[in-house]
Amino acid sequence: MEPLEKKLTDVLRLALWGRPLPRETLTSEQFRQLCDISNKQTCLTIVCKAFLDSGIILNKYDAAFLLMTIEKTRTNNQVVTHGLHSLVELLTAHAIPFFVVKGQLVGTSYLHPECRIPGDVDFYVPPSHFDQARKLIADTWKVSYEEGDGDDEQHIAFTNEGVTFEMHYTLMKFYNRSNRQRLEHLLAEDMRHLRFYTVDNKKVPGLPVVDNLFYTFLHLIHHLTELGVGLRQFCDMACLLNIHQWSEGERKRLRSLLTSFDYFQGFQAVCAVCVDILGLDESCLPFSLRAEDRRYVAPIMKAVFKGGNFGMYGIKHKVRSGWRYNMEVLLGKLHRYRMFYRLSPKEIRSCIFFELPAKMMMSLRRSDK
């Protein structure tokens, strides 16, 4: 890692677990460089909070930026949490089954949830009630939906009172057919065993602990291999792992899920990053780390710092269309597939042998018209 990247990970190793940073004076240039790289990794407010609590000495302009960043994230979290509570009240009042994933639920595992930069509200509604939920939300909140037309779409999106929501009809569009079928069975099972999480003193339905961790990991590993992913997703995993005490039954269930979907090596590699880079206590892991798990830490971190949050900083062509952009994305994907093949071999094989040829044929047909 570069010195600035190492500085950020050193700060996060202490900030995530409430350990004070060494008291020091940062020049304005040092502070802004660290803020810039933190922002690209969606960890800016965690870093600012750590600086504030540790009494790092800054000039008045940088100190003002620090305080404004923390307050802005706190306010944004309040807005998103209010939107989440409104959704829960609406769907619950009309007896529509659903559960929430990621976002504010993961935030409850943080030492300072108000400092986790919020995103969308993602929730799943089973196919049997999806149209009912869609109509109810549109009629009640007067929203319009954004719907993708690609085969990889997993949700419809809408915005209400400044909050973006994604209503999922599946949680992951696997390339592998058996994984797609397995996921649908898993979702049906999970709907019967939901757990309620407390978000700002109100109960929100979510996945059982093991399945919640499994899906959070799936989201991370999918983006790591497809587009890129930032440090925030690894912080999410580390915080979830940190707060849970594993029973033998939970270990068996998680291993069964990871093995059946062919992601065990990927999970172990992510855990190695959480321990070696973010300072998670290794005793918090469900499975012991091996030397082969740790050999992925360096290439993962290289990809993380190259692309930043969801790989958006690693793309040269910012306009998301045209053959140059598509070619850059394809070459980047193939490069990550080569580096991380053993982390999700079943999915990567299915994409290379079935998904990519089908998309290339479709593109050729479109170009002929």
Residue 363 has pLDDT above 60, yes or no: no
Give a yes or no: residue 152 inside a domain.
yes
Average pLDDT over residues 154-175: 94
User: How many helices (H) does the chain have, and how many strands (E)?
Assistant: 16, 7
Choice among 24-33, 120-129, 271-280 with the minimum mean pLDDT: 24-33
Give a yes or no: residue 7 inside a domain.
no
Give a yes or no: residue 246 inside a domain.
yes
Express each pLDDT in 205-235 by its tens digit. Answer: 999 999 999 999 999 999 999 888 999 999 9
Residue 147 Ramachandran class (φ > 0 left, ψ -120 to 50 alpha, else beta): beta
Cβ pair 45, 11 in contact under 8 A: no
Most confidently modeled range among 57-61, 238-242, 357-361: 238-242
Q: How far apart are CA 298 and CA 268, in angstroms?
A: 14
CB atoms within 10 A of CB 19: 12
Give a yes or no: residue 287 inside a domain.
yes
Residue 358 has pLDDT above 70, yes or no: no
Give the pLDDT confidence score for residue 333 in this predicted structure: 85
* Beta partners for residue 147, in sequence order: 156
Give a yes or no: residue 256 inside a domain.
yes
Query: Predicted confidence band at 24 (pLDDT cuts at 50, 70, 90)?
Result: confident
Give a yes or no: residue 289 inside a domain.
yes
pTM: 0.92
Average pLDDT over residues 117-124: 96
Give the pLDDT confidence score for residue 367 in this predicted structure: 47
Q: Kindly state the DSSP code that residue 245 receives in the 8-state scheme.
A: P
Average pLDDT over residues 354-365: 64
Give the pLDDT confidence score for residue 52 in this predicted structure: 93
The token pair at 117 is 């930069």
Give a yes or no: residue 280 inside a domain.
yes
**CA–CA–CA angle 257, 213, 211 (5° rounding):** 50
Cβ pair 229, 306 in contact under 8 A: no
E strand map for the chain: 99-101, 121-124, 146-147, 155-160, 163-168, 195-199, 202-206
The answer for residues whose C-beta is within 8 angstroms of residue 322's C-beta and 6 or more apart is: none
In degrees and rounded to multiples of 5, residue 123 shows phi and psi of -145, 150
Burial (CB count within 10 angstroms: exposed 0-12, middle 13-18, buried 19+), residue 223: middle
Residue 47 has pLDDT above 70, yes or no: yes
Give the pLDDT confidence score for residue 361 in this predicted structure: 60
Instruction: Give the C-alpha distances (Å, rounded to integers) separating 240 from 32, 284, 364.
Output: 30, 10, 44
Average pLDDT over residues 285-306: 96
What is the count of structural domains for the chain?
Answer: 1
Give the pLDDT confidence score for residue 161 in this predicted structure: 95
Give the pLDDT confidence score for residue 322 in this predicted structure: 63
Average pLDDT over residues 328-338: 85
Read off the CATH number of the domain in which 311 is found.
3.30.460.40
Top-confidence residue, 318 or 237: 237
Give a yes or no: residue 86 inside a domain.
no
Give the pLDDT confidence score for residue 6 in this predicted structure: 94
Give the pLDDT confidence score for residue 359 in this predicted structure: 64
Residue 369 has pLDDT above 60, yes or no: no
The range of the structural domain enclosing residue 197 comes to 96-364
Top-confidence residue, 338 or 366: 338
Residue 319 has pLDDT above 90, yes or no: no
